[in-house]
Every structure is written in structure tokens, then in C-alpha cells.
Structure 1
Amino acid sequence: MYLLRDVDRGDDLLGWTPNAALPEIVGQGRTPLTISEGISWLLQDPSSLEPNRCFMCVGSRKAAARGVDARAPAIWISRGTGRDGQARRDAPKVGWCWAGNNHAWLGFASTSGRD
């Protein structure tokens, strides 16, 4: 067990791609959250996830033969459209986005350290 310090949703990186955001996060002396850390954080502070202010957890990108997998894990709030259906409107979701795509509503969660 460990404690995350100064967790941030990464709103300053809204609209960035995961490929571009990771060097920026590291350059700020921060560490990207893993998907497990992101879920744990939200269980402790559910208000950290808001519509149009959600986040990726690029600390969980899977290693691949040529660096990392093209998928970037993310946590967001669904509007209940498509396969989600109206019954799941405004429900949190865990999934992934392509690392080369940017989304104006997805930041990149990070921490200043782990104790």
C-alpha cells in the first residue's frame, strides 16, 4: 500500500494526445497515474470526475514490441448514448482511447509522488 501525493486530473493538458502529454507530465516532475490508481483516487474523491473533465491514465499503457501499445486507458462519464443506453446516462466508464487522438474533455491524471 502507498499514498499518492498531489494528484491532479490534468486539466492543463485537455486536448493533448497521450503521446504528446507523457513527456510534458514527466518534464513537470510528475508521474502519470495507472488505471488502478485512477480508480482508487475516484473511490476516495468521486467529485474528481466530472462531465467534460475526465482523464486518461497513461501510466498503464502496455509495453509493445515498438515502445508502447497504441491504446491509452481512460476514465470518463458517459452521456448514455450508443451501446451504453439511456439507463447508464452519466455513469463513469473505464476504457481506452487511441494514443494519437486528442479529446478536448480528457486530461492526463498524474501525481507528484508515491509514499
Structure 2
Amino acid sequence: MPFDADAEFDRQVRTLIDNGYPKLTDLDDDAYAALLEPLRETVTTHEAMAEPEEGLVPFVLVVTRELAPLYDVVPRLTLGGRKTKPGVVDHNYAEGELVRFVAAKEVELPDARAYVLFDIQRGEEFCGAVPNDAMATIADRDRTLLTIEEGLSLVQQFPSILAKNKCFSLGGSRCGDKRVPAIWISQNAPKLGWCWQGNPHTWLGMASAAGRDGSLG
């Protein structure tokens, strides 16, 4: 059977509601679903998409910090399977420092609040590569690096995409220095941290996507 993008859209909206995202706004569940509804057409009119598979996702609804502050989103993440420990922010971020990491100048967001990210690759082929080199290769392929919000949205909707030795950097968010945000597994929970752009890690790839689209109007 072909991939049912309409049903997957409903599932992702329900996941956000079930994980308390409306509570981060002044909206109830129905109003929150209505807010995201304009993105349905963006999904259903997109070119044919394949079913999700290991390390590959056809689309994900991205809710940005405008609607969901980063420090409130991370604890809502868990790993796949029966693991339920909440996500954490690495202590190497100074208190409140996450807000300094914003979309890089090469990244154009279609809406500051929420939109759709298409054709996401976890990027384990870049495990062991220097992050700077991985980011250059992705740019040469005319793909885009994931922001922090996009990485968190990806793990929220597809927890099993974060796997042992197949974690990933989020080079689409930077703060003007040599640090690259990344999300990995620590003590059976997702952890949002950062690594230096010149330091390779065997367990850390570089996530990317084909593009972004959609507006809440």
C-alpha cells in the first residue's frame, strides 16, 4: 500500500498533543490541532513519499521555540521501545545558553512557528567524519542541515531514530563559535549537547533533509 501521508499527519499532531505541547501555549488541544491544520495540505500535496525506515523519515512536523521553548521540549523526549527516561540538556551548555543557538544563515525557515521538514536522513554515514567535512558534503548534495528544533521534533515523532552508535549532529543551529549542537543517548535517555566542529566521533553522524515547506498562514 502507498504511504498514507494524511494518516501520518494525524498521528504526528496527536503525538504533540499527547506529549503536552498545547500546555506550552495558551491553546487547548482542539485549538492547537487547528493551528497546525494548514500544514496538512503541505504534506498531502507533496510528491509521493516512501514509508519511514531505519534512519530515514518522509516528513516531520516541526514546532519551533516560538510555540515550544527548547528547555520545555527536551524533557518530553524519550528513546524508542519501553525506555521512558526523559531527555536532558547537557551540563556543558551554560544556564539558559540554548537560546543563543539559532538557525544558521544558510537556513531559511518557511514559518517562525511551525512547518514541515521533508526527506530526513539521520546521517550515520558521517559517523567518524569531521563535522565540518560532513556539513560541506551535505551542502554539495543540495541538502539542508537540521536545526535544534528540527532534531527535537524528529526524536519526538520517531524516538527509535536515535539509536546506539547512530546519533547525530544538528548543524543547522549555531551560535557564532565552533560548537555544533548534537543529540545522543546518555544513561538510557536522549541528551541534547554539542561537539566541536573539528572533532569527529564514531557514534555521531550529521542529520540532513531535502527541504522545508509550509506556513500556518
Superposed, which structure 2 residues align to 1:18-29 within 5 Å? Answer: 18-29=131-142
Distance 2:165 2:131 in 1: 17
Distance 2:175 2:138 in 1: 18
Distance 1:92 1:74 in 2: 10
Superposed, which structure 2 residues align to 1:77-92 within 5 Å? Answer: 77-78=185-186, 89-92=187-190
Give the partner amino acid of 1:62.
C
C-alpha RMSD of the superposition: 0.8
Give the partner amino acid of 2:185.
I
Q: Which of 56, 71, 78 does residue 169 from structure 2 map onto?
A: 56
Residues 1:72 and 2:180 aligned together: yes
Give the partner amino acid of 2:182.
A
Task: For residues 34-72 of structure 1, give each alpha carbon's deviation from its aligned partner in whole angstroms, at most 9, with x where no partner exists.
Answer: 011000111011111011110000111223xxxxx1111
Task: For residues 53-95 of structure 1, give each alpha carbon's deviation from its aligned partner in whole angstroms, at most 9, with x where no partner exists.
Answer: 10000111223xxxxx1111000001xxxxxxxxxx2111001
Residues 1:41 and 2:154 aligned together: yes
TM-score for the superposition, normalised by structure 1: 0.83
Superposed, which structure 2 residues align to 1:91-106 within 5 Å? Answer: 91-106=189-204
What count of residue pairs does the alignment treat as equivalent? 100
Please list every run of 5 or more consecutive structure 1 residues that lacks an aligned counterpart in the other structure. 64-68, 79-88
Give the partner amino acid of 2:119.
D
Distance 1:110 1:41 in 2: 11
Distance 1:61 1:99 in 2: 11
Distance 2:165 2:123 in 1: 12
Residues 1:8 and 2:106 aligned together: no
Structure scoring higher RCO (CA < 8 A, sep ≥ 6) equals 1
Please list every run of 5 or more consecutive structure 2 residues that lacks an aligned counterpart in the other structure. 1-113
Larger Rg: 2
Match of 1:81 in 2: none
Q: Could you tell me the percent identity over the aligned residues? A: 54
**Greater than 2 Å deviation, 4+ residue runs:** none
Match of 1:66 in 2: none
Give the partner amino acid of 1:50.
A
TM-score for the superposition, normalised by structure 2: 0.45
